[in-house]
């Protein structure tokens, strides 16, 4: 049976960056069966259904780096640089954070993301089983990376080997869950020793698991690694075997030209987090050089305590602004790049060819945007709408969201999460965690 969605505009995110005005998307059993201009829609059978939704349909957005359970810590440590923010504010609170808090934080984060058009999120956090459970309850697609770290305080989760074993066990327990893929989340080279990183690499290789970690986020992050090994963080990770084809590296602000070449050679994907990098004054990532070298790049919000929202539209706009400032070039990144960074490019960075586009064989993760706001005029030709959406639109223009063909947001409201109830519980938890 086909569900046919008719819209004023369909942006499938194909190679040609086509915009079909008007267009259609056919969905069958959670997958896209066809999409294109309305005039080319194939005939329907007697059991098929037609939904006239108007507006603009585009693929669900892919958030390439998040710790969404940190909604429970939103706003904490405002004004501090990364090292003090982590050491003085975040880690002490996280030491008190229970699996129930993580579940709650993720539930609220999932609602926020879905309402803003994000249908897939990359989640690195501890209490990962609780995070995955909440995401599934919300109907959000996730790549869950249970965190592995050897920093003071993390002994409560056992050794790094215990954490790796835990991630493998979680992967096995969720093997039948279509919405979740479990990988390995070694926090970073500065919070893990060589032996642990090597074990992550060996496990990832043996089980074909994706790897997600923070790389070169701040200027000083690699100093200890450089002093010890004489290498940059990416070179050190390469030596330990941690640059596998499904390695997704977050931030990547302070890379050398050789590091960029290294990422391209190994097929590493990059999660670019301009909002977080700006808020913590980490720096401007070399996005243009990465993409020119052939590295797949998507945008990520990072956690809602270092952003402080889960708004990928804002992230894409910041990516354009920062790239133009960094390069001194108003053409450094454009409107098409913004959509690539949120959808198809992001899916490529994750090594996932089943999401990120409304094309046959991809999952029916789909977003409807209303184009009724005053900022969507004037329109001299339909493509003007895409520029208006990137530069002047907002997550509040997202009205409806489908994940795997299931409508999870309708008329702006999240159907899967009791948001009011979750928010009340979140407030109570945040007070307790602040101590
Ligand atoms: Zn992060």
Q: Supply 332's token pair.
A: 């450094």
Q: What is the distance in A from the centroid of ligand 1 to the CA of 257?
A: 23
Q: Based on C-alpha coordinates, what's the Rg of the chain?
A: 21
pLDDT for the residue numbered 250: 98
Phi and psi based region of residue 208 (left: phi greater than 0; alpha: psi -120 to 50; beta: remaining):
left
Q: What is the distance in A from the centroid of ligand 1 to the CA of 305?
A: 10
CA dihedral of 396, 399, 402, 405, whole degrees rounded to 10: -170
Among residues 2, 5, 4, 118, the alpha carbon closest in space to that of 55 is found at: 5
Q: What is the distance in A from the centroid of ligand 1 to the CA of 410?
A: 30
Output the DSSP codes for 231-272.
Answer: S-HHHHHHHTT---TTEEEEE--S--HHHHHHHHHHT-EEEE
Q: What is the distance in A from the centroid of ligand 1 to the CA of 214?
A: 6
Q: What is the distance in A from the centroid of ligand 1 to the CA of 66?
A: 6
Taking ligand 1, which is a single-atom ion, which protein residues have CB atoms under 5 Å away? 302
Q: What does the pLDDT profile of the chain (435 residues) look like in tens digits?
A: 999 999 999 999 999 999 999 999 999 999 999 999 999 999 999 999 999 999 999 999 999 999 999 999 999 988 888 889 888 999 899 999 999 999 999 999 999 999 999 999 999 999 999 999 999 999 999 999 999 999 888 889 999 999 999 999 999 999 999 999 999 999 999 899 999 999 999 999 999 999 999 999 998 888 888 998 999 999 999 999 999 889 999 999 999 999 999 999 999 999 999 999 999 899 999 999 999 999 999 999 999 988 899 999 999 999 999 999 999 999 999 999 999 999 999 999 999 999 999 999 999 999 999 999 999 999 999 999 999 999 999 999 999 999 999 999 999 999 999 999 999 999 999 999 998
Q: What is the distance in A from the centroid of ligand 1 to the CA of 250?
A: 7
pLDDT for the residue numbered 302: 96
Burial class (CB within 10 angstroms; exposed 0-12, middle 13-18, buried 19+) of 79: exposed
Q: What is the distance in A from the centroid of ligand 1 to the CA of 55?
A: 34
Among residues 364, 388, 390, the alpha carbon closest in space to that of 377 is found at: 388
Question: How far is residue 63's CA from residue 76's CA, in Å, rounded to a whole number?
Answer: 22
Q: Which residue has the tokens 């409201």?
A: 413
Question: How far is residue 178's CA from residue 140's CA, in Å, rounded to a whole number?
Answer: 11
Beta bridge partners of 52: 6
What are the angstrom distances between the C-alpha of 99 and each of 39, 74, 157, 164, 430?
51, 17, 12, 18, 14
pLDDT for the residue numbered 78: 87
Q: What is the distance in A from the centroid of ligand 1 to the CA of 67?
A: 6
Among residues 373, 227, 217, 332, the alpha carbon closest in space to that of 282 is found at: 217
Question: How far is residue 135's CA from residue 144's CA, in Å, rounded to a whole number?
Answer: 10
Q: What is the distance in A from the centroid of ligand 1 to the CA of 178?
A: 25
Q: What is the distance in A from the centroid of ligand 1 to the CA of 217?
A: 9
pLDDT for the residue numbered 151: 85
Question: How far is residue 247's CA from residue 129's CA, in Å, rounded to a whole number?
Answer: 21
C-beta separation of 16 from 344 below 8 A:
no
Among residues 315, 381, 330, the alpha carbon closest in space to that of 117 is found at: 315
Q: What is the distance in A from the centroid of ligand 1 to the CA of 161?
A: 21
The kind and range of the H/E element at 61 are strand 61-66
Residue 308 carries which DSSP code?
Answer: S
Burial class (CB within 10 angstroms; exposed 0-12, middle 13-18, buried 19+) of 176: exposed
pLDDT for the residue numbered 83: 84
pLDDT for the residue numbered 82: 81
Q: What is the distance in A from the centroid of ligand 1 to the CA of 236?
A: 20
> Where would I find the H helices in 328-413?
335-342, 344-350, 384-391
C-beta separation of 147 from 124 below 8 A:
yes
Q: Which residue has the tokens 């895409």?
A: 386
E-strand spans in 130-202? Answer: 141-148, 180-182, 185-186
C-beta separation of 50 from 42 below 8 A:
no
């Amino acid at each position: 049976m086909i569900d046919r969605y008719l819209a004023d505009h369909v942006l499938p995110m194909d190679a040609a960056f086509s915009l079909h005005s008007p267009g259609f998307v056919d969905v069958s059993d959670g997958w896209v069966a066809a999409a294109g201009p309305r005039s080319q829609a194939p005939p329907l059978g007697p059991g098929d259904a037609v939904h006239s939704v108007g507006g603009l349909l585009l693929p669900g957005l892919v958030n390439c780096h998040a710790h969404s359970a940190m909604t429970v810590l939103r706003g904490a440590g405002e004004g501090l640089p990364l090292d003090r923010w982590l050491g003085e504010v975040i880690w002490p609170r996280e030491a008190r954070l229970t699996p129930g808090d993580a579940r709650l934080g993720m539930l609220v984060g999932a609602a926020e993301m879905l309402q803003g058009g994000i249908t897939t999120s990359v989640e690195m956090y501890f209490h990962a089983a609780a995070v995955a459970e909440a995401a599934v309850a919300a109907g959000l697609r996730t790549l869950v990376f249970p965190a592995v770290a050897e920093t003071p305080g993390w002994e409560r989760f056992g050794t790094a080997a215990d954490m790796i074993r835990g991630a493998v066990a979680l992967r096995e327990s969720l093997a039948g869950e279509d919405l979740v893929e479990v990988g390995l989340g070694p926090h970073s080279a500065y919070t893990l020793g060589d032996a642990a990183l090597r074990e992550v690499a060996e496990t990832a290789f043996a089980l074909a698991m994706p790897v997600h970690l923070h790389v070169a986020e701040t200027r000083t992050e690699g100093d200890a690694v450089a002093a010890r090994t004489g290498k940059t963080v990416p070179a050190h990770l390469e030596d330990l075997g941690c640059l596998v084809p499904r390695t997704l590296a977050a931030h990547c602000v302070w890379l050398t030209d050789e590091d960029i070449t290294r990422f391209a050679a190994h097929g590493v994907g990059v999660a670019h987090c301009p909002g977080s990098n700006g808020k913590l004054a980490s720096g401007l990532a070399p996005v243009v050089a990465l993409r020119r070298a052939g590295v797949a790049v998507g945008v990520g919000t990072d956690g809602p305590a270092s952003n402080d929202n889960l708004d990928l539209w804002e992230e894409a706009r910041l990516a354009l602004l920062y790239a133009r400032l960094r390069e001194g070039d108003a053409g450094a990144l454009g409107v098409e790049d913004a959509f690539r960074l949120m959808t198809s490019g992001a899916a490529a960075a994750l090594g996932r060819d089943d999401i990120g586009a409304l094309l046959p064989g991809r999952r029916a993760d789909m977003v409807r945007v209303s184009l009724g706001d005053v900022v969507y005029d004037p329109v001299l030709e339909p493509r003007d709408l895409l520029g208006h959406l990137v530069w002047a639109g907002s997550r509040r223009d997202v009205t409806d969201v489908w994940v795997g063909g299931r409508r999870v947001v309708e008329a702006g409201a999240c159907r899967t999460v009791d948001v009011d109830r979750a928010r009340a519980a979140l407030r109570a938890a945040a007070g307790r965690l602040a101590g």
